[in-house]
Amino acid sequence: MKVDKSLKNLTLWLLFIPTVLLILGVLDGLLQVLFRAGWIQNTEALGIEYYQGLTLHGVINAIVFTTFFAVAFGNALIWYALKKPINLKVAWLSFWLMVIGVVFAAYAMLTGQASVLYTFYPPMKAHPLFYLGLALAVVGSWVAFWNWIPVYLQWRRENPGQKTPLAVVGIFATFIVWQIATIPVAVEVLFMLFPWSMGWTDSVNVMLARTLFWFFGHPLVYFWLLPAYVMYYTMLPKLTGGKLYSDWAGRLVFMLFIVFSIPVGTHHQYADPGIGSEWKFLHAVFTFAVALPSLITAFTIAASLEYAGRKNGATGTFGWMAKLPWFDTNRWLVPYLLVGLIIFIFGGISGIVNASYNLNLLVHNTSWIPGHFHLTVAGPVFLAFLGMSLYMVSKMTGKPVQLKGFATIVPYLWMIGLFTFSTGMMRGGLHGEPRRTNLGLTYLNPDSPFYRPEWEPYVIITAIGGILMFTAVTIYFITFFATFFSSAKEEAKLEFPLSEAYHEGPVKALANFKPWVTIAVVLIVLSYIPVIYDVLRSTTRSAPPYDPHNPAPLVQEEEEYYDEDFEEEEFEDEESAVIGEDEATNTEESATESSSDETQQTGAE
C-alpha cells in the first residue's frame, strides 16, 4: 500500500524522538549498574545524580519510548489493516500533546527537580511541570486512540458479518486497557499531586496515591506487552514461513487481557497497611488469572512455529526448532520476536513469585523485583519495539536496513546480557540486596558501617550483564540511525507481514468488545471499591511534601506534625490521667480492704 506522506512524517517523528531519548535512558541504565557495583563511588557521574539518572532511566525507557511507539504502531496498523485512513489532523494533535508533555517532564528531570523515580510516589515531591507533562503525554495517547474509533466503526458498518482483522483487535485491546487504567493515575496526578506540588495544598494522602498509581502501574505492563503480542500472533508466523495456528485463540487472548489486566494492582501493595487481607487475596487470584492468556499464547505460538518448521522440512519431535530462521539476515526481524519469547518464559515464571503473597514478602523491595521486571519489559517488549521501529522506518522511507548482520545479532547479545544482569539482581535479592539504592556508597563501601561483602559477587554479575546490554543496544543505535539517514532506494510503502490462520474457527462471542469491557468494569468495581474504602478509612493523616535529597519535610506549619511542645504537653496530660487513674484505683482498693477488715472483725466479735 502506498504510504500517505503526512502519515509517514508523523510515524517517523513518533519513532525518532523516543529513540534519541532512549540513548540517554540506556546510558542512565549503564550508570546504575556501575553505581551499584561500587565502580562509581559517588553521588553523581557525568553530571547526572544517582536518583536523577534512575528517574530518567525509568521514565524514558518504560513510559516515553513505549507510549510513543504504541501510538506510531497503532496509527499505521489501523490504516493498513482496515484499508481506511485515520484523521491526520487529530493524529498530529495527539503527537504535539505528547511532545509538549515530554518537554515539560524532561525539563523537570534534567534540572534535578523531579528525582522521584518513574513511580513518583509521594511524599517525594517533583516540580509541577513533571506532573503536568505526564498528564499531557497520557492525554495525547488518549486522543490517538479516540481517533481510531470512528475508523473502526465505519469499517464495521461497511463490512457487516466480516471478522475484524486480528491485528486491529489486538491494538484496540491494548488501548482499551490503557484507557481504563490511566484514568485513576490521571486523577492522582491532576487532583492530588499537581495541586500539592504547586503549594495549593500542604499535604497528600500517600496510601490513596499509591493505590491509584498501582491501579495503573500493573496494567501498564500489559500496555507494553500487547503490541508485542500483536506481532507474535499476526506477523511472526508469516515471517517464519508458516501460518497462525488458531485465529480464535488469538482473539480470546486479547479479550481475556481486557478482563483480567486491571483488577490486579493491589498485589504490589501486599506490604502496605490499611488494606484488608481479603482484598489482597482477591487481587492475587486475578493476578494468577491473567497468566492464563499468556499460557494460551505459549501453546498457540509454539504450534504456529512448529507448523512453519515442518513446512520448511523439519522432522522429529523437536527438529522444527532448527528450521526456524534464527540467523537469516534477510529476515533480521525474526530474532527480535523469537528471542523475546524465550526471555519471556523466565519473566513469566518469576512473575508468579511476585504474585504469591508469602514469596512476595521475601522479595519485596529487593533487587529481585527489577531483575524480574527487566525480563518482561526489557525482554519481549523492548526487543519487539526495537525490531518493529527499524522495520517501519525502512518500509515507510524506502531505505533498506543497513548493517543487517549487526541488526541480526543485537537480540542475541541483548539476551545474554539480560540473563546475566537479571541473574545477578535476582540472586542478590534473595540475599536481601535492596533495590533503588546506591550500593557503592553504602552496603558495598568497606568504610561504611553497613558494609555487606557477601553481595559483591551479585552486583559484579549484574554490572557485567548491564555492560553487555549497553553494547547490544549501542549496535542497534548504529543500525537504526544508519538506516534512518541513508538514501532511499525503494518505493516507500505502508506494509506489515500479516499472517493467514491455519484454523479460523467461529468468533461470534469474540466479535464485539462490549461484553468483555463490561465484565472488566464489573471486576474492577468489585475489586477496587473495597480497597479504596479501606484506604480512605485507615488513612486519617496526610503527609507533607519532601525533597528527595532532604529528610526534612518542606512544609512545617501544622502543629499536628511538628509542634514538639504540643506533643510533650499531650503526653504529660496522658501521663497525669494514667497517674490519676492509678491513684483512684489504689484508693478504691484501700477502701475495699478496710471494709473487708471491719466485716471480718465484726464477725469474730
Catalytic residue among 374, 382, 391, 513: 374
Closest CA to 177 of 111, 302, 263, 105: 263
CA distances from 422 to 416, 429, 512 (A): 10, 10, 40
435 an active-site residue?
Answer: yes
Strand partners, 45: 48
Distances (CA, A) of 106 to 100, 362, 556: 10, 35, 29
Q: Which ranges constitute the DSSP H helices of 312-381?
A: 319-322, 333-355, 357-363, 368-376
Catalytic annotation, pick one of 118, 222, 257, 419? 222
Q: Are 212 and 184 in contact, with CB atoms under 8 Å apart?
A: yes
From the list 57, 127, 210, 218, the catalytic residue is: 218
The question of whether 222 is a catalytic residue gets the answer yes
Is 436 assigned a catalytic role? yes
Q: Tell me the angle at which helices 247-260 and 291-311 cross, rounded to the nearest 10 degrees.
A: 160
Please indicate whether residue 374 is annotated as part of the active site.
yes
**Measured at the alpha carbon of residue 112, what is the angle toward residues 108 and 116, in degrees to the nearest 5?**
80
> Which residues fall within 8 angstroms of residue 268, CB to CB, at 6 or more apart?
214, 217, 218
Please give the C-alpha separations between residue 177 and each of 182, 196, 248, 546, in angstroms, as whole numbers: 8, 28, 20, 32
How many Cα atoms within 13 Å fall on the side-chain side of residue 240? 35
- In the numeric block, which cell numbers belong to residue 323? 528450521
Single-letter amino acid code for the residue at 502: Y
Nearest to 37 by CA among 563, 560, 556, 459: 459
125 Cβ contact list (under 8 Å, min separation 6): 116, 196, 197, 545, 546, 547, 554
Catalytic residue among 36, 372, 427, 452: 372
Catalytic position from the list 130, 435, 452, 476: 435
Pick the catalytic residue from 373, 421, 496, 528. 373
Residue 218 designated active-site: yes
318 is catalytic: no
In the set 436, 451, 561, 562, the catalytic residue is: 436
Strand partners for 366: 434
Contact call for residues 495 and 395 (beta carbons, < 8 A)? yes
Nearest partner of 3 among 88, 80, 87, 73, judged by Cα = 80
> Which residues are marked as active site?
218, 222, 372-374, 435-436
